[in-house]
Chain A
């Protein structure tokens, strides 16, 4: 899932100059699960805005609504041709799909979209995947060093790994320590003896914005050129 966190209210208030009609748009998918932009959080923002408007005499018309999944336009039809300000409580993807559908609206972010991760414990969310487009976790005990190593190292822990912790922050586990121990448990440490050569980053962001075409669902639509080489 996509992990996000709420922007501080003063920052959001700073984006609303000249607004009249404001819709706080929540999402029931990822940002609801990570407690950043679901129905409850959206209502809280809406109430805070209404109060601010009243106290400061802004005269805003504030409302809130929460959709099933803001990143799929099918779920956004109730928005119609909204022309006011949308505070998107969905991730950055949802915010942009809303903007695509309502070109005359002013979409502002109510959350900071952070990463692709998973809930670890109540209220704790941890990054797991960097979306590099070329998964190699079969070599690393099902643990991704690209997303979870501070240096995205592919050939083992750097010299800063100590007592299972990362040099960058003492509250972060060293993911290479985890990989080595997991492979040890699985009796597959031999996987680490072969050096992984420099990675092809083209399937990652470095090939420009990505566009995946499922040829079965969309026959004949062109793939990115370099994909043909593989």
Chain B
């Protein structure tokens, strides 16, 4: 039985498309609604980030619910940075009560990267333990063992970064996430296809692609400067020189960025074990409809 459209899509063997929406920094509800209306139909589900890069934004719960009201299916991201197990379970029960059905469990960017580096972090549990706690919740008991009369209904996701180190351990860590309850996995943006393929061959070797649905991340880059920024400032990214050069030499770098992103989506479609793509177009969400059209993956 599927609890969400994303689950239904993946479980039926179809190629899924998800895309990221960065919630606004304040109460710009109308702007979020407009973005949701603009993106409607471009993906099966939309990730609402949880204070991404540790910068304060509208909560992922509130923005998920606003997207729901606009007819989009949200994937609510929930980090371990800002909540202990009490808040985590409470927020997930609340989100499920409001109609959220997909939750992505992540450890979260460390607060030193954000606009409140002085904050104390929580990390009561890690992302794998978060999966364990939320799976338990969906199965009808909270982490203290109390039975829930009406458990939340959730499709649980995890993140994977094939470009982080130690490389050989990355597939093993994905197995741990599958053991902990992950049903789908969204990966870090793929710019280095060779390394991603190596990762996927380890994943397939372990049979993990049959235990979890793997959605590969992509990102359109506007310029070679954006590519260099990703390489130098974003933790755990691999950006090949060829891509930087390609964007640098292009007469219209933006168009080139779009083209290379579409090419990447098409490449990923044929990688064994990949069940979908996840588009992260940071502060460039309005390009998403064009990307899915040109790649021919529009739901």
Residues of A within 8 A of B175 (CB): 193
- Interface segment, one of A24-32, A159-167, A211-219: A159-167
Contact of A45 with B by CB under 8 A: no
- Interface segment, one of A82-90, A133-141, A150-158: A150-158
A50 to B125, CA, bound (A): 51
Min C-beta distance of A129 to chain B, whole Å:
17
Contact of A95 with B by CB under 8 A: no
A156-B176, A159-B188, A195-B176 given; A151·B166 CB < 8 A? no
Residues of B within 8 A of A169 (CB): 112
Min C-beta distance of B92 to chain A, whole Å:
15
A167-B236, A193-B176, A195-B128 given; A162·B165 CB < 8 A? yes
Are B110 and A177 in contact, with the CB atoms below 8 A? Answer: no
Contact of A201 with B by CB under 8 A: yes
A195 to B172, CA, bound (A): 11
Interface size counted on chain A using CB atoms at 8 A: 31
Are A154 and B110 in contact, with the CB atoms below 8 A? Answer: no
Binding site for B on A (CB under 8 A): 150-164, 167-169, 174, 177, 180-181, 189, 192-193, 195-199, 201
Contact of B169 with A by CB under 8 A: yes
Contact of B161 with A by CB under 8 A: yes
Are B121 and A151 in contact, with the CB atoms below 8 A? Answer: yes
A157 to B123, CA, bound (A): 14
A155-B176, A158-B107, A167-B110 given; A180·B169 CB < 8 A? yes
A197-B129, A198-B143 given; A167·B165 CB < 8 A? no
Which of A150, A157, A196 touches B110 (beta carbons < 8 Å)? A150
Contact of B80 with A by CB under 8 A: yes
Residues of A within 8 A of B128 (CB): 154-156, 195
Are B235 and A198 in contact, with the CB atoms below 8 A? Answer: no
Are A155 and B169 in contact, with the CB atoms below 8 A? Answer: no
